[in-house]
Amino acid sequence: MDCNNTVMAEEFGVDLPKLPKTFSADDINGVQRIFEVERRVTGTIILLTARERWEHGNEFAMDGELLANHHSLFDQLK
């Protein structure tokens, strides 16, 4: 995905700031959940997806315009 994102970013003039690859959050029961984050640059949007490391875990996504602030999208995803 990183290679695809680099090509797409160059094609559409999008900067790709460094983002964390993982984050953790405690659920309502105090259990720590660890998520892996994937960024996808398409022709129309930036898509961030967080997938829990456990099988059948949670998955969340946030999208924004190509020129959106990636750090803000990441914060919204968390």
32-60: pLDDT as tens digits: 999 999 999 998 899 999 999 888 889 99
C-alpha distances (whole Å) from 58 to each of 31, 34, 47, 51, 76 are 13, 10, 17, 6, 16
pTM for the model stands at: 0.88
Task: Provide the domain limits for residue 72.
Answer: 2-77
Q: Tell me the chain's radius of gyration from C-alpha atoms.
A: 13
Share of the chain above pLDDT 70, in %: 100
CB 16 within 8 A of CB 41: yes
Look at the block and give the residue holding tokens 């690859």.
21
How many domains does the chain fold into? 1
